Amino acid sequence: MFGESQNKKEKLNIIIVGSGRVGATLVEQLGKEGNDITIIDKDASKIQSITNLYDVMGVVGNGASYSVLMEAGIENTDLFIAVTESDELNLLCCTVAKRVSDCSAIARVRTPDYSKEVGYLREKLGLAMIINPALESAKEVARILYMPTALEVNSFAHGQAELIKFKIPKGNVLCDLAIAEIAKKLSHNVLICATERDGEVYIPSGNFVLKEDDIISFVSTRKSAKRFFDAIGFKTNHVRDTMIIGGGTTSYYLADQLIHAGIDVKIIERDRERCEELSVLLPKAIIINGDGTDEELLKEEGIHTVESFVPLTGIDEENIMLTLFARQVSNTKVITKINHITFKDVINNLDLGSVIYPRYITSEAIIAYARAKKDSLGSNIETLYHLFDSRVEAIEFLVRNDSEITNIPLMNLSLKKNLLISFINRNGSIIIPSGQDCIKAGDTVMIVTTHTGFDDILDILEQ
């Protein structure tokens, strides 16, 4: 359980520079993990607000200043994270921090120019990670558009396995079917890992009976997922075209990926100068200079017939209204990006299709790294996602050494309740495990659980 995990593992001393959306999300999430956190920002009111909300230290000042870092305790810091609005400042903060401390450093870098040089920058500056929220958000949107039936697609095992979420419609073949019967009736290599029904989340057993309107997450390879969706009557081809509203950095990254996948892209952007830039950067895309919230313009540009619609403006309310409008006038696949709004219960009750939160995409990669830094007992976290409003965690562990969970049939392991071993990745081959399968050293193993705070594969065992 969470308390047990934290008692036996060391907490980390963490400094976060920048108290914007991502900084505040990291303070909240890493604080829940039981770490000691200090937040640095030039804006005293932001520091005051965060220190009032959370049990953290606050320092007002420039995160690239040696004296400010010393005041924040850089000499005893395990992990240093720079997530200000400026890429250059983030890189400078990490460089200064690395000069005066043996900490691991993570920088948020969003500019496309720098993103092409991530490997070089990371190596030369000695950084543990460079994270690009705009690029990661674009990748998440693209994964969904490649499989538009899904509400959410999370990637594991370097893309070999996917965790896919969808809603069971009325009259579907899965309605009133027990999970154990799925393999017999549909015989596809998938494993249902989590189910949400009437606001409650379950890690289901084989006798769990699926119902209409259940939202389920299952794990499989992409090929198996397509076969499974075909078998239950869902469309599996990727979209042929998309309309993107807003021409920001995320839109650029998304359009670039979709064009490479053979998907037609149209971007509507207000700023004429930015349209000209995008025309040069994306010669195969159609760039429209206009107001993407103009109903007549959207109709004129084909919102009734486009197969997917992605509002990526900087204003959440605009994105939500655009999605609701698209829902009203067409059957298009919609994806809604939300940056600021925190009313998740309200959002969940709106018909917004797939919803992505860039700040959580960023924080999950950093939380996975932070957990992996704790005193590990022979395994390491490769990938981590929070599902169903953070009530479920999906974690992929690399099992480095033989231990008490290796070379034993899974049915003989004393596993915690509300936990499922979802796949074993052995040399790039994905195994959906049965009770007879064993975990071996060198495997990566993905678990899905309603427990939180696991940082070692041994946490899956009853203590």
Residue 220 belongs to a domain with what CATH number? 3.30.70.1450
Question: Of 261-275, 377-391, 435-449, where does mean pLDDT reach its minimum?
Answer: 377-391
Tell me the pLDDT band of 4, cut-offs 50, 70 and 90.
Answer: very low
Taking residues 151-176, what's their average pLDDT?
92
Question: Of 39-48, 177-186, 195-204, 395-404, where does mean pLDDT reach its minimum?
Answer: 177-186
Question: Of 130-144, 238-252, 355-369, 436-450, where does mean pLDDT reach its minimum?
Answer: 355-369
Instruction: Establish how many alpha carbons lie within 13 A of residue 227's alpha carbon, considering only the half-sphere containing its beta carbon.
Output: 12
The answer as to whether 273 is a domain residue is yes
154 plus 68 within the same structural domain: no
Instruction: Provide the β-strand partners of residue 444.
Output: 398, 425
Question: Of 4-18, 86-100, 332-346, 415-429, where does mean pLDDT reach its minimum?
Answer: 4-18
Instruction: Provide the β-strand partners of residue 310.
Output: 244
268 plus 215 within the same structural domain: no
The answer as to whether 236 is a domain residue is no
Say which DSSP state 416 is in: P
174 plus 152 within the same structural domain: yes
The answer as to whether 349 is a domain residue is yes
Tell me the pLDDT band of 3, cut-offs 50, 70 and 90.
Answer: very low
Instruction: List the one residue out of 399, 403, 414, 406 whose CA is nearest residue 460.
Output: 414
pLDDT at 8 over 50: no
pLDDT score for 360: 85
Q: Are 282 and 257 in contact (CB under 8 A)?
A: no
Name the average pLDDT for the chain. 90
Where among 170, 201, 231 does a domain terminate? Answer: 231
Tell me the pLDDT band of 24, cut-offs 50, 70 and 90.
Answer: very high
161 plus 122 within the same structural domain: no
Q: Count up the domains in the chain and report the number.
A: 4
The answer as to whether 34 is a domain residue is yes
336 plus 372 within the same structural domain: no
Could you tell me the two tokens for 120? 């070089």
DSSP string, 437-456: -BB-TT-EEEEEES-----S
pLDDT score for 402: 86
Where among 173, 208, 231 does a domain terminate? Answer: 231
Torsion of CA 24, 27, 32, 37, to 10 degrees: -170
pLDDT score for 2: 35
Residue in this structure with the two tokens 């460089």, named with its chain if needed: 95
443 plus 424 within the same structural domain: yes
pLDDT score for 401: 84
pLDDT at 431 over 90: yes
pLDDT in tens, 116-142: 788 888 888 899 999 998 999 999 999
- Residue 268 CA to chain centroid, in angstroms? 26
pLDDT score for 380: 81
pLDDT at 430 over 90: yes
Strands 200-202 and 215-220: unpaired
The answer as to whether 99 is a domain residue is yes
Say which DSSP state 307 is in: S
262 plus 185 within the same structural domain: no
pLDDT in tens, 322-379: 999 999 999 999 999 998 766 666 777 777 888 898 888 888 888 888 887 765 555 6
380 plus 316 within the same structural domain: no
184 plus 291 within the same structural domain: no
pLDDT score for 308: 96
For residue 406, give the amino acid letter: T
Domain span at residue 327 reads 241-356
Taking residues 37-56, what's their average pLDDT?
95
Where among 356, 375, 409 does a domain terminate? Answer: 356
pLDDT in tens, 286-321: 999 999 999 999 999 999 999 999 999 989 999 999
With a pLDDT cut of 90, the percent of the chain lying above it is: 66
User: At 64, which CATH number?
Assistant: 3.40.50.720
163 plus 207 within the same structural domain: yes
311 plus 269 within the same structural domain: yes
- Burial of 280 (C-beta count, 10 Å sphere; 0-12/13-18/19+): exposed
Tell me the pLDDT band of 7, cut-offs 50, 70 and 90.
Answer: very low
Angstrom distance (rounded) from CA 458 to CA 281 = 48
Strands, sheet with 13-17, edge to edge from the N-terminal-most edge strand: 57-60, 36-41, 13-17, 79-82, 104-108, 129-131
pLDDT score for 378: 57
> Could you tell me the pTM of the whole model?
0.85
251 plus 347 within the same structural domain: yes
Taking residues 273-280, what's their average pLDDT?
97
